[in-house]
């Protein structure tokens, strides 16, 4: 297994150290709750670890990991849809605090964000997450990869198998829909 371009071998532990947080963040915003996010992240990481020996370095490793994560999530969405459960787009998945579902393993004193800053953003974050969950799968993935992961249109297109132009137009429509949803909440 090698890292793209440099062809340097990447150990499993190194891979996990570098990408576990990234995968979990994307999974959290795609699913909207911590338990589903952890399940999805673990599933995606396990798949990535299994496929890692076959990674040829044709793309950035991070792009490859995003691709696995998004595809794993989309497969789950399809499976849940077929069972009549699409809870990932339900409004009930977020707690009243606006924080993605505070499960028993949720650590309110997160290391990354000061408590005061979290409290200030709590209301807005809940509304934004709910609005995000109302986008369809590809649009949500585009928004997450662009706004949160700050990936380029080309990289997003590579992850989702879309042309750059398609990514641009769908991103605009997703933003417009989010704006409409947020305007309704704030009105």
Partner 1 sequence: MNDAIREKLSAYLDGALPDAERRAVEVEISRSEEMRLELEALRAVSGAVKGLPKEPLPAGFMARLEARRARDAKPERDYLILPPAYRPLAFALSTAVVALVVWDKTRAPEELIVPRVGWDSEKVAVKSAAEAPPSIDVSGQLSALDSRDKGLADLSSGSAESAAANELTASNAKKEDAVGAKAGAPSTFGKHISAPGKPLGVQEDEPVPAEGGFARRAAPSGPAAAAPAASSPAPVLAEGAGSGYLARSEEERSAINERLYQGFEEEKKRMGIAKIMDKDAEEDKLSGGGREFMALQATPEAAQVGRARGSASAVRGMAKAKGGAPVLKALTLKSAEALSAAWSAAGLPGEPPAVSFPDQMAVFLAGPSGCGITGVQVRKKFIVVLYKDAGFDDPSARVRALAASPKPVVVKPAE
- Rounded to an integer, what is the distance from CA 139 to the centroid of its chain? 12
* DSSP 8-state code for residue 92: G
Among 15, 64, 66, 153, binds partner 1 (CB under 8 A): 153
Which of these segments, 54-62, 69-77, 78-86, 126-134, binds partner 1 (CB under 8 A)? 126-134
Is 147 within 8 Å of 171 (Cβ atoms)? no
Q: Which of 48, 70, 89, 132 binds partner 1 (CB under 8 A)?
A: 132
Helix (H, G, I), strand (E, B) or coil at 100: strand
Min. distance of Cβ 44 from partner 1 in angstroms? 11
Counting every residue, how long is the chain? 187
6-25 binders of partner 1 (CB under 8 A): 16, 20-21, 24-25
Q: Is 176 one of the binding residues for partner 1 (CB under 8 A)?
A: yes
Distance in angstroms (rounded) separating the CA atoms of residues 132 and 178 = 7
Residue 149 is given by DSSP the state S
User: How many angstroms separate the CA atoms of 187 and 68, rounded?
Assistant: 39
Which residues make up the interface to partner 1 (CB under 8 A)? 16, 20-21, 24-25, 28-29, 34, 37-38, 41-42, 45-46, 49, 99-100, 103, 105-107, 110-113, 118, 121, 124-125, 128-129, 132, 143-144, 146-148, 152-153, 168-169, 171-172, 175-176, 178-179, 182
């Amino acid at each position: 297994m090698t890292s793209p371009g440099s062809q340097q071998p990447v150990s499993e532990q190194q891979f996990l150290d570098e990408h576990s947080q990234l995968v979990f963040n994307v999974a959290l915003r795609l699913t909207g709750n911590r338990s589903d996010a952890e399940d999805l992240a673990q599933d995606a990481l396990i798949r990535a670890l299994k496929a890692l020996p076959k990674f040829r370095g044709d793309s950035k490793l991070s792009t490859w990991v995003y691709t696995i994560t998004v595809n794993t999530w989309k497969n789950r969405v399809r499976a849940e849809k077929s069972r009549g459960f699409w809870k990932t787009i339900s409004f009930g998945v977020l707690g009243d605090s606006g924080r993605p579902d505070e499960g028993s393993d949720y650590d309110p004193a997160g290391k990354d964000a000061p408590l005061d800053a979290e409290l200030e953003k709590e209301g807005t974050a809940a509304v934004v997450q709910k609005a995000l969950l109302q986008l369809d799968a590809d649009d949500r993935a585009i928004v997450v990869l662009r706004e949160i992961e700050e990936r380029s249109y080309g990289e997003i297109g590579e992850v989702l198998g879309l042309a750059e132009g398609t990514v641009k137009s769908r991103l605009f429509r997703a933003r417009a829909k989010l704006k409409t949803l947020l305007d309704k909440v704030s009105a």
